[in-house]
Amino acid sequence: MKLRLFQVDAFASRTFTGNPAAVVPLDRWLPDATMQEIAAENNLSETAFFVGEKGYFHIRWMTPVDEVDLCGHATLASAWVVFNEIENGRSEVHFRSRSGPLRVSALGDTLSLDFPSRPPEAAPSAIAALAEALGSRPGDVLASRDYLAVFETEDEVRALRPDMPKVAALDRMAVIATAPGRDCDFVSRFFGPAVGVPEDPVTGSAHCTLVPYWSRRLAKTSLFARQVSARGGELWCEDRGDRVTIAGRCVKYLEGTIELADA
């Protein structure tokens, strides 16, 4: 069996920036174990698999060690593959997922994700554990799917050197560290060692929590964000109540073929 494979840098305007995602379009679902092995072999933060046609697809995402319920950058990359490699000329694609319906629209070379909003709630009891895991005490801690550790300055977020085993031992999937940005509305970093992603370069799904938090705090609905990982990424976001829009660009890095002896 031969499968097409794309590696796309998401939330990037040039290669070697943003977050690389593997995208594997399928005619039918493979066994879960086989897809997990492919994701482990790719060894990127996420591999996206999707099945469907004519603008409507079912999508799943896997890290090298586990399946996750939502992934922004790999969805953006999957939409880029649909728009440019599978159904050229289309400007909107719909995905069915474990987190409900997701829509991606294209305007020029900018792709916009329509994702569910996941506002965080206060979690002050976790401050001590987060301070120990991150090596620096945040001013505030909130929680949704992930912990949200809020710092006063961008420099504090950039300087973090987390203790990954301690981050992995926390009772949430991952930790988002954030602060006001110097030349943007806010910055962030994302640490998910419990799901095989020590630090994710750019994390669309984290902005389902970041956008409602910063929209409320800054009293504005349109936000420009930077994820200040080593690769870095830029995201244009909008708070729309129970949904958020997260927009960025994609660049194809490679295209190839996966050969499976049996599946």
**C-alpha distance from residue 94 to each of 59, 166, 216 (Å):** 10, 37, 28
Per residue in 48-82, is it b (16+ CB within 10 Å) or e — as a string? bbbebeeeebebbbbbbeebbebbbbbbbbbbbbb
From the candidates 41, 46, 85, 255, give the one annotated as an active-site residue: 46
Q: From start to end of the chain, where are the E strands?
A: 2-10, 19-26, 47-53, 56-62, 67-68, 92-97, 100-107, 110-116, 121-122, 140-143, 147-150, 175-180, 186-192, 197-200, 222-227, 233-239, 243-248, 250-259
Q: Which residues of 199-212 are buried (b: 16+ CB within 10 A; e: fewer)?
A: bbbbbbbbbbbbbb
Name the 3-class secondary structure at 174: coil
**Residue 46: active-site member:** yes
Q: What residues act catalytically?
A: 46
